[in-house]
Amino acid sequence: MKVAVQSAPFDLGAEVEAFTSGAEGAGAVVTFTGIVRPDEGLTAMDIEHYPGMTERAISGIVEEAVRRWSLADALVIHRYGSLKPGEAIMMVATAAPHRGDAFAAAEFLMDYLKSRAPFWKKESRDGGETWVAAKDADEEALKRW
Amino acid sequence: MIDVLYFAWVRERIGLPRERLETSAVTVADLITQLRAREERYAAAFADLSALRVALDQELSSFDAPLAGVREVAFFPPMTGG
């Protein structure tokens, strides 16, 4: 289990390879990568976080996933700071004996990271800056778990 | 003494990321009432509590939670991770 909160970019290929080779007993690895969507006019995405609570909250979410599903391993990397459109913001990877658990756990991690990990996104456009508002649908998504 | 932290637009509205306060507040709601009374920028930041979340010692909490033994209170908008 690995949780990393960092401003530096990560090497997706190297991370997936290291995670896969380290996941003993896994028959399935699922990965998800979140990318700054290159929306029209968007020049940058600034991600603020709450150092200390962020690592704690993400670790708690990963531990919960490990309790609920039969996982060989799980990984979360989430960046903060100023990112450009097209850059990777975060990734999750889950490894399990069978794909059902790996897919479900990856979705669970994403749903919880979305509204329970203390990150806040601010978009910069030519006209100025706006904080991204949380969506009701994101909160609603937690109910299915 | 209690450390009070602000994030995202709450930080911008109040104009600082954190401060250390001496407070007699018993609950988070009491602390908010005291903060609102300080200055207009606090009143503006705490105008709509439905737009705010609170964490006590880095755990998500609620506005009616007691502050006894708490060292760090953080106020922020709903989170937008992922």
pLDDT at position B67 is 98
The CATH fold of domain A2-129: Aldehyde Oxidoreductase; domain 3 (3.90.1170)
Close Cβ partners of A61 (under 8 Å, ≥ 6 residues apart): A76, A109, A112, A113, A116, A117
- A7: exposed, middle or buried (C-beta count within 10 Å: 0-12, 13-18, 19+)? exposed
Residues of A in contact with B8 (CB under 8 A): 48, 120, 122, 131
ipTM: 0.95
What sign does the CA torsion over B44, B50, B55, B61 have?
Answer: positive
B30-62 pLDDT, tens digit per residue, is 999 999 999 999 999 999 999 999 999 999 999
Domains defined for chain B, CATH in brackets: 2-76 (3.10.20.30)
Q: Do A50 and B81 touch (CB under 8 A)?
A: no
Token pair 């602000």: residue: B6
Tell me the residue type at A56: R
Close Cβ partners of A138 (under 8 Å, ≥ 6 residues apart): A111, A114, A115
pLDDT at position A81 is 98
pLDDT at position B60 is 97
Residue B80: which of A50, A53, A121 has the nearest Cβ?
A121
pLDDT at position A134 is 93
The answer to whether B77 touches A134, Cβ cutoff 8 Å, is yes
Q: Searching chain B, which residue's CA lies closest to the CA of residue A49?
A: B7
Residues of B in contact with A137 (CB under 8 A): none
Q: % helix / strand / coil in chain A, to the nearest 5?
A: 35, 35, 30
Residues of A in contact with B52 (CB under 8 A): none
Domain ranges for chain A, please list them. Answer: 2-129
Q: Searching chain B, which residue's CA lies closest to the CA of residue A34?
A: B82
Classify A95 as helix, strand or coil.
strand
pLDDT at position A127 is 84
Q: Do B81 and A117 touch (CB under 8 A)?
A: yes
- Minimal Cα–Cα distance from A21 to chain B, Å? 25
The answer to whether A88 touches B51, Cβ cutoff 8 Å, is no
Two structure tokens written together for A70: 């039969």
Strand partners, B20: B3
Q: Do B78 and A78 touch (CB under 8 A)?
A: no
- A132: exposed, middle or buried (C-beta count within 10 Å: 0-12, 13-18, 19+)? middle
Residues of B in contact with A90 (CB under 8 A): 81-82
Q: Do A48 and B79 touch (CB under 8 A)?
A: no
Classify B77 as helix, strand or coil.
coil
Positions in chain A whose pLDDT score sits under 50: none
Residue A119: which of B5, B9, B79 has the nearest Cβ?
B79
CA–CA dist A91, A89 (Å, integer)? 7
Q: Which of B24, B71, B73 is nearest to B46 (CA)?
A: B73
pLDDT at position B73 is 98
